[in-house]
Structure 1
Amino acid sequence: MDSAFFYDYPIRKSMKGMVAMTLLTNGRIFLGTGENDFAKDLRFADGKVVETGDDLKPAEGEEVIDAKGRLVLPGLIDAHTHPKYIADALHGVACTPPDVNSIAEMQAALRHSPAFGAGKDVWIEGWGFDETKLKEHRSPTRADLDQVSTDQPIFIYRSDCHSSVGNSRALELAGIDRTTPDPVGGKIERDDAGEPTGFMREVAATQLLIRAKSAQSYQADVDNLVQSSHHYLANGIVAIGEMMGRKKPYDSWQLYTDAVTRGFLPRTTIYYVFDELKDGAALSFKATDQLRVAGIKVFMDGSISGETADNTRPYPDGKRGVLLTDQDKLLAAVEMAKAAKVQLAVHAMGDAAIQLVLDTTANLTPWLSETPSVRIEHASLLTDAMFDQINRAKMNYGLVTQPIFFFAEVASYQAFLTSSQYQEIYRVKSMERSKALVALSSDAPCTPWAEPDSVFYSLYAAVTRRAANGEVVGPEEAITVGTGLLAYTKDAALMGGFEENGTLVAGKNADFVIVDQDLFTIDPTEIKDTRVAETWVAGQRVYQRAVGEGN
């Protein structure tokens, strides 16, 4: 479907040619200024909020929209996500439960991909597999994927989006054979004979396949990103943080610039991967209200579910994880971020990796004042001692965390962590009590869940602490609905530098969402079933849920 259908709305104007005022009335409007701040009416014009109140009277000729008592939220912000990956996933195959539970079912799903049989240059793509959830308890190999096709290249992301697997054709296009050296920070898995199995461990190895795929069709990547706009609007997400900005095989800035020109709507900040930057000058782009470069991304380690997060205690199989960035490299990234006056976003999942970040940066002077200079992405394992260090630190920290991880991956966390570590996962309430700014986000599509960036599944997990299997994880770390929504609105805006978003107060962008049930009054177990009824961006309705529409 042509994505322009969803947001190509004309600007409403008065008879005198001025942009007309609009009054949204009879709503339960969560202002985002505090967890208990509400109003009934919202007036906006020319893309901005004009005023809010409880008894605003319509002006002559003003359009009035009845919210019919529904809950209205500031436009939701996913401060840590991977839009390029999501754009790929939306036209790819979900290799996740409940539909895919074995390699045989994965093969069948890939054969039903619209790309299957579309031509030898068309990539068949999938996402979301987790070997611990597959019947075979192993990752698929190129031999498994070759049973689907040897003519078309096949690429599948693991659930963490760090690792992946390709078939023989994909390896061929990427120039990967038995003589290809492992990239720094990654590993090309090989069989006993030294031949690549197709499994590419960690980001550096996965990028070898991604570059081959993206280099083949830049325009297809632009098209996919444009078409993904509806996905965000349908989920009430009006602003996103792209956490995998790249310079190869093309510049992410160009990708987003071209997509915006074609109609991609979410406001976007880009964080460039440090390993692809040679100097801070590479970050100099002319920012707009919709697109700007906000930071530099550093990978300290891998993922817990992939047994590559750097932990102080080894995993059951004896592995400790991987450390991808040492102190010297981290300090070099700090200097680049400081020179460019952007944030440093540090991926750190394991407790050893997080501790190294804190020890390296705690006593440094912040270089940004309006937003955290250092963001710790995921912050999966935080001890009381770490919170004490954050609270004493000179550095101004942001903690960007994902409750959807323990919701979807609880079995992996139970299997791979010690009992004491398990008690320290995703301590959202303790984060909120700390000095650090806290935002909730998805890291989508990097988790084995069919709706990885649903704000309402994330909010459900944060409020109830229930995982998908019903297990309650650290109930003492549960937060309120209001706190969770602030972490997706006001605090997420501060975290990602979306200065004009996050709250519905005079002068801010008239970006808001109407949902189909009141999150503050329903039973918390129903939060995950919430759906977006309407999404508005700059005072224009850009999405309206059709009767019976699914996500």
Structure 2
Amino acid sequence: MAMPTFKNAKIFLGTDQTHFASAMTINNGLVTWVGSSEEVTDEQAVDLQGRTVLPGLIDVHTHPKYIADALHGVACTPPNVNSIAEMQTALRHSVAFGKSDQTWIEGWGFDETKLAEHRTPTVDDLDKVSTTQPIFIYRSDCHSSVGNSKALELAGIDRDTPDPQGGFIGHFPDGRPNGYMKEVAATQLLIRVKSVQNYTADVQNMVNSSDHYLANGIVAIGEMMGRKQPDDSLRLYQDAVATGFKPKTAIYYVYDEVADNSELTPTFDDQLRVTGIKVFMDGSISGETAYNKRPYPDGRNGVAITSPAKLKRAVDYARAHKLQVAAHAMGDAAIQTVLDVTQGLDPWLADRPSIRIEHASILSNAMLDQLNHAKMNYALVTQPIFFFAEDESYRQFLSPAQFKLIYRDKSMLTTKARFALSSDAPCTPWAEPDSPFVNIYAAVTRKTANSDLVNPEEAITVPQAILAYTKWSAEIGGFKHNGQLMPGLAGDFVVLDRDIFTIPSDDIQNVKVQSTWIAGEKVSPN
């Protein structure tokens, strides 16, 4: 392997907020030297012409399988789709439209509060697109979905189909299924029948998504929806990696699918690892299913998917198998349950936090104090892109007091918990749901897509936001060779099209990756 040296760059080392270099050498895939361009004598050194360089970015909470589906599906999100009528038009322009009755038409990202009709699409709406091809559309939170009559037929769903545990099948007043599959357990009824028919396509879609990640500067990912059925996620990734999928991946299996499988054990390959289990404590704020202490305007408190007793069983399972627990908890009641069940337990992982609280969307001062006094070691993995894209929903469904407690990034940094930014893509209604720079923009400016300002006292600095996508994400996700550009670590880095450290803050969302390098070799653009 070549031993390239890079010079004339502004290299953010990822060690802390302030240290930079202007040159580095990579040998056999690892950084071997960092220093000053004045020290470079290699006439073949790559001149980066003053560009800003970051360690390869790490998205520790994303859904690559969903992203792979979305890339060949239809974006049903603002600013492109703003009504059910526009959604129908967009679906008719899908590359899948008009093909065989075995070909699914797929879409993603709708939020009924952003649609002109202010309601969820129904089976009848989708049947106006096609009744011969199955249609499946994810809601923006990726918890819920809508299917047409063909999709419901293939899944065996009729007026008598019982609700799965933790999920709800929507019905019209006359009892006929309306196509709305509320929460993950119900959505899985459609996903499973879709995946059974499309394993080869799933693998190819995963391979195709590799370029998408690399174009965004993402060299490592946390797969937060590992499945055993209908196909094992580890097998899917193994086949995708063998065919060209490049980002390093840590898989977290949904606990309900492995609870009775004593064979799920961690693996430690740098490229592809089984790392943890995922526990759903609640739903989403925009879907009014996040479990909150204070009720929504409809009088309900959301959905408590996992009881304290079941969470404790999941923690015991993870401890016995030396796995990390990633607990999806958006509402304050859900987060409180995680803290109350786990705060007094001994950590069982030494190399990374034993418990990850995913989203941590509503945090009170008392919860922050609880984190600081807990025996357990925690990580807080959060997504400012949610309030950026879903501001209207948050203001509609949360009280002013609750709204003041959302996505408290700066306050999270004052706790002893590890902190990371991530996308949860494609689970938010934005056309570029996993753009690191939209997420960083929201964390730094606290501005939203509709120009609202959200709790500006919780803004963090640009270097902190980048550390939350590099060093700190690596520490939380167990990517021990990534996150910093220092001797002995991976030569994975990104070159930006502008200097994110000095541009006006409003321009951060427009930053693009000029090139992505893995092990010292350029992989994007290829």
Same fold (TM over 0.5): yes
Partner of 2:508: 527
155-164 vs 192-201, which moves further = 192-201
Question: 1:39 corresponds to which residue?
Answer: 21
Q: 2:357 aligns with which of 376, 384, 388?
A: 376
Deviations 1:107-132 (A, max 9, x none): 01000000000111000000000000
Contact 1:163 1:201 in 2 (8 A): yes
In the alignment, what sits opposite 2:284?
303
- Is 2:522 aligned against 1:541? yes
1:438 pairs with 393, 416, 419, which one? 419
Partner of 1:129: 110
Q: Any residues of structure 2 matched to 1:85-164 within 5 Å, and which?
A: 85-164=66-145
User: For 1:237, which of 218, 227, 231 is the aligned residue?
Assistant: 218
User: Are residues 1:347 and 2:328 paired?
Assistant: yes
**1:26 aligned onto 2:8:** yes
SS at match of 1:63: coil
The SS at the match of 2:489 is coil
State the one-letter code of the partner of 1:48: L
Letter in 2 for 1:194: G
Structure 1 distance, partners of 2:359, 2:325, is 14
Aligned partner of 1:482: which letter? P
Alignment of 1:50-89 (within 5 A): 50-55=32-37, 57-58=39-40, 63-89=44-70
The code of the aligned residue for 2:44 comes to E
CA distance in 2, matches of 1:506, 1:325: 44
What is the aligned-residue identity percentage?
64
Q: Residues 367 and 285 of structure 1: is their aligned pair in 2 closer, same or farther, counting only changes over 3 Å?
A: closer
The answer for the alignment partner of 1:272 in structure 2 is: 253
- In structure 1, what is the equivalent of residue 203 of structure 2? 222
CA contact (8 A) 1:280 1:340 kept: no
Q: Does 1:492 align with 2:480?
A: no
Q: Does 1:388 align with 2:369?
A: yes
> SS in structure 2 opposite 1:283?
coil
Residue 281 (structure 1) shift: 3.2
How far residue 56 of structure 1 moved from its aligned partner, in angstroms, is 5.9
- Per the TM alignment, residue 98 of structure 1 is displaced from its structure 2 partner at its CA by 1.5
Amino acid at match of 1:499: K
Match of 2:392 among 411, 414, 418: 411
Query: How many positions carry a matched residue from both structures?
Result: 526
1:451-494 deviation per Cα after TM superposition (whole angstroms, max 9, x unaligned): 00000000000000001011110000000000000000000000
Shift of residue 93, structure 1, vs aligned partner:
0.3
Tell me the CA shift for residue 219 of structure 1.
0.4
Q: Which amino acid aligns with 1:32?
A: G
Residues 426-466 of structure 1: CA distance to partner in whole angstroms, max 9, x if unpaired?
A: 00000011110000000000000000000000000000000
Supply the distance in 1 between the matched residues of 2:157 and 2:261 (Cα, whole angstroms).
Answer: 32
How far the C-alpha of 1:318 sits from its partner, in A, is 1.0
Q: Deviations over 1:42-78 (max 9, x none)?
A: 1101110001011464466x73100111100000000
| Aligned amino acid, residue 159 of structure 1 | S
Aligned alpha-carbon RMSD (Å): 1.1
- Counterpart code for 1:365: D
Partner residue in 1 for 2:316? 335
One of 289, 294, 313 as aligned partner of 2:270: 289
Shift of 1:370: 1.4
> Which AA in structure 1 matches 2:404?
Q
Give how far 1:20 is off. 2.9
Q: Report the secondary structure of 1:108's partner residue.
A: helix
SS class of match (2:229)? coil
| Residue 287 (structure 1) shift | 3.4
CA distance in 1: counterparts of 2:488 and 2:49, whole angstroms: 25
Tell me the SS of whatever aligns to 1:385: helix
Aligned to 1:16: none
* Structure 1 residue ranges (4+ consecutive) displaced by more than 6 angstroms after TM superposition: none
For the pair 1:482 / 2:463, whether they are aligned, the reply is yes
Residue 266 of structure 2 contacts residue 323 of structure 2 at CA under 8 Å; is this kept in 1? Answer: no
Partners of 2:386 and 2:380 in 1: CA distance: 15
* 1:127 match: secondary structure: strand
Residues 55, 470 of structure 2: 8 Å contact kept: yes
Q: Partner amino acid for 2:334?
A: A
What per-residue deviation string (whole Å, max 9, x for no partner) do you get for residues 504-547 of structure 1?
000101000000111111100000010000100111100138xx
Structure 2 spans left out of the alignment, 5+ residues: none
Displacement of 1:282 in angstroms is 3.0
Deviation at 1:280, TM superposition (A): 5.7
Match of 2:170, as an amino acid? E
